[in-house]
Amino acid sequence: MAEVGSSSLLVPAISFNGLAASSLKTSIHNPAHISLHQLRAKLLTIEPEMRTVAKLNNGQPNSGHYGFGWFVVTKNGHRVVEHEGSRQGFETQISRFVDDKLTVVVLTNLEDAKPEVFADRVAEMYLSGNVK
């Protein structure tokens, strides 16, 4: 019950337990669509900031290798921007191998599934030429 002025208002409880942390439901189609637009450089004007480690107020790069919403790392000589997420038994990973024009998205419904390991292995196989 919430107080509004001199009146009381009954507000129904809303459960977000079945939704991701941002309260959205998605499928593999959404991140794939976003990735295609990013590859075509049509979606975001902040793309360079997403691929660059943000600097601290003292001008030094942050030690967490965090860009504008993405972790910016190098894996086996490949520049990667990536981010993981988890919520109530679900874990996800999106890894964009920027110069290779490769994006790997892993969606799991298993807590502690370690989707980054799957994403890295898929990328390794693709970039080595073992997957066509």
Least confident residue range of 31-45, 53-67, 90-104: 31-45
What mean pLDDT do residues 25-33 have?
A: 68
Q: What is the pLDDT of residue 119?
A: 95
For the beta carbon of residue 108, count every other beta carbon within 10 angstroms.
16
Average pLDDT over residues 8-31: 57
> pLDDT > 70: what percent of the chain?
58
Q: Would you state the pLDDT for residue 24?
A: 54
Q: What is the pTM of this model?
A: 0.64
Sequence ranges of the domains in the chain: 26-127
Main-chain phi, psi angles of 92, to 5 degrees: -135, 160
Average pLDDT of span 101-114: 88
Q: In whole angstroms, what separates CA 104 from the centre of its chain?
A: 11
CB-count burial class (<10 Å; 0-12, 13-18, 19+) for 118: middle
